[in-house]
Every structure is written in structure tokens, then in C-alpha cells.
Amino acid sequence: MPLALQAAAHEYIGWLQLEANRSPNTVRAYDGEIRKLLGFLAEHGHSLEVDKLRHDDLRAYQRFLADRLKSPASRARALVAIRSWLRWIAREGLIEHDLSNGITLPKLEQRLPKPIDPDELTRLLGALPSGTLLEKRDRALVQFLISTGCRISEALALDRTDFPRSGNRLVVTGKGSKQRSVYLTADARAAMEEYLGTRCRATRKSSTAASRRHTGFTRSSLTTRRAARKKPEDQFLAGN
């Protein structure tokens, strides 16, 4: 029985999640791009069976993307996902020939990021408020990102125990669960210590107040429920 492209796409997305251990954002992006390809094939009368997929089908979709997406970077993101899927299909023996070599990525202009002016950076950091606990958290997060160059997802994945008791080196987990060492500046470490110290004192004070209440629906249980609904940015250096 011929294997449908939709079934092959479903198996590939499962492989990305469970075996390749790709990030949720990558899985979501790849799934979306493959769905767009399948939608195009169905709408324009192309075969939706794996063994009947041809280079002509893929070339037609590439022409469609060239007309619809003027940005080379946007087209490249879409085609990288499709090329990866086609390679997987061939590697799994679901198709006789590897069609990924028919995917041509557009040439991208190589541009170096422009660094922020040191004086402007100093003014920016100096303008960050730090009166409340949330302001201290935001200031610590900004200092951490600037100091290490980490992605925001990497910063929010850090736990309290990841913060070094001494020194300025800590380990972050990035895409594909790959770990690497990053280093804090003195200002970043000071901001993070200030935030963690203030949060620790606030937590002890809250716990003491909650223990004095004996109602069935206690403040501590309310706090637990609210914590479960925290925004992602509230999880920076989570834990006690």
C-alpha cells in the first residue's frame, strides 16, 4: 500500500521530537513548512504519495515560494525544513531516490551584527529600574543576556542551582540539548545576586505569613496555583 506524504510527515515530526531531540520551536516550524508544501501539492493536483513525488513537484513549489516570499531568508527557512524531511524519507528507505538534492537554497547576504555603542549600552543599563523584585529580575535578566549572548529560551531554562556559588562560569543548554559554558561579567553577577537575595528574603517572609493562617483555602495554596500560571519570563532562575 502506497505511503501517503502526510503519514511520512507525521512520522518525521515524531522523530524530530523523540529521537533528534529538536527544540519545540524547531519542531513547530518544520511541521508548519511541511504542511504548507502538502497543501500546495494537493491544491495544484500533484500526487500525495511518497513514491510518486518527483523533482518537478518540488521545483513547482520552489517557484511558488519565489513568487510569494520575496525575502531570501524566509524562502531558505522554508526550504531547509523540506530538504531535511526529504533526506529523512530517503534515509528511512521510504523512497528510492533522495530528492533533497533538488532543493536549491537561495543565496543569503552575509551580514555581521552591528555591536551596540559602549556609551549607549552603559546608559541603557543605567536606566534600568531596580526598586521592586520584578524590576530586579528584569535587570538581572538583561544583564545576563548581554553578558553571555545567550538566547532568551536558554536564559529561561536556567534553574536557581545553575547559578555558580563562586566564579563567573555557568553551563547553559541550547538547541538540541547541547551544553556550553558561558561567563558572567561582574555587573551581571552582581545583578543576579541582588535579585536572588531579594527573592529569597521575600519567599521566607511569605512562607512565615502563610504558616500563621489555618483556613482551608490558604494563601500558600493560592500562591502555588498562581505559580503554575506564571509567564515564561517569571521562570528566570526558578527554584529555591
Per-residue pLDDT band for 113 (boundaries 50, 70, 90) equals confident
Q: Which of 27-41, 94-108, 198-212 has the highest mean pLDDT?
A: 27-41
Are the beta carbons of 140 and 180 closer than 8 angstroms?
A: no
Predicted local confidence at residue 115, as pLDDT: 81
One-letter amino acid at 148 equals T
Predicted local confidence at residue 224, as pLDDT: 36
Lowest-confidence region among 83-97, 105-119, 141-155, 224-238: 224-238
Predicted local confidence at residue 112, as pLDDT: 76
173: helix, strand or coil:
strand
Predicted local confidence at residue 232, as pLDDT: 46
Task: Dump pLDDT digits (tens) for 48-76.
Answer: 999 899 999 999 999 999 999 888 999 99
Cα angle 34, 35, 37 (rounded to 5 degrees) comes to: 65
Mean predicted confidence (pLDDT) in 11-34: 92
CA atoms within 13 A on the CB side of 185: 13
Predicted local confidence at residue 175, as pLDDT: 78
Task: Dump pLDDT digits (tens) for 200-239.
Answer: 888 887 766 655 554 333 344 333 344 334 444 456 777 6
Residue 139: Cβ within 10 Å count: 19
Mean predicted confidence (pLDDT) in 23-46: 94
Per-residue pLDDT band for 23 (boundaries 50, 70, 90) equals confident
Are the beta carbons of 149 and 135 closer than 8 angstroms?
A: no
- In this structure, what C-alpha cell is assigned to residue 147? 553578558
Q: Between these two residues, 106 and 239, which has the higher pLDDT value?
A: 106
> What structural domains and CATH numbers belong to the chain?
5-102 (1.10.150.130), 118-212+227-235 (1.10.443.10)
One-letter amino acid at 238 equals A
**pLDDT exceeds cutoff 50 at 109:** yes
Taking the whole predicted model, whether its pTM rises above 0.85 is answered as: no
- In this structure, what C-alpha cell is assigned to residue 45? 493536483
Are the beta carbons of 235 and 199 closer than 8 angstroms?
A: no
Q: Between these two residues, 23 and 226, which has the higher pLDDT value?
A: 23
β partners of residue 159:
238
Task: Dump pLDDT digits (tens) for 169-190.
Answer: 999 988 778 899 999 999 999 9
